[in-house]
Amino acid sequence: MKFKEIVFRDQNSKRIYLDYIARIQQATKVLDKENQQEILLEINSHIYESLMDNAAGEKGEVEKLLDVVEKLGQPEVFLKPLVAEKKLEEATRTFNPVKIIKALALNIGNGISYVIFAVLYLLLFGFLFVIVAKIADPQNVGLFYRKDVVFILGYYREKGVDYTQYEQLGSWFIPLMLLLAVIFYVLITLLFRLKRTLNKK
């Protein structure tokens, strides 16, 4: 369905309405076109129905419209959680890491579970970082372990200290980190989908 502007007789009503629609579009611009359109149509329909319900009242067109938009609230405020949720839906559909990071940023204030997801993603990017670091500096990156001496997974640099003899993975380090990164990425994205499904119930 295509968005259709509500027709007003009063020019002031039209200005108030168009300004409100522009604010909705601004508040939803981070979403894909389909979600932007869906939210806009829903709010527009609500405005139209509310105006029709109050058509027989004594109030003028401007006053009726102001009552409706006042009840709805500021789009920048009331749309924030909806936009964050929609962004998360987009991210989990695409498996796109950039979209997931943006969705996490939008949702960071929406509960502890999103903070946990952010930490998990930080760990995921840690795996990717050590892969690049291993290529750039193979001697100082790896899994260095010896009981009561050292345990390092990743990068180290200490003057006069060499743990090379304690490296456990050797040439398997990069394939293993890559496998862990892929598993972690798929697992986190599936957890996002599970959370979204539980939120709908």
Domains of the chain, residue spans: 11-78, 95-200
**Contact assessment for residue 179 and residue 185, using Cβ atoms and an 8 Å cutoff:** no
Alpha-carbon torsion angle 23, 1, 194, 186, nearest 10: -90
pTM for the whole thing? 0.61
> Could you read off the pLDDT tens digit of each residue along the chain, which spans 201 residues?
788 899 999 999 999 999 999 999 999 998 889 999 999 999 999 999 988 886 666 788 899 999 999 999 999 988 888 887 788 777 766 666 677 777 766 666 666 666 777 777 778 888 888 999 999 888 889 988 988 888 888 888 777 788 888 889 988 999 999 999 888 888 877 877 777 676 665
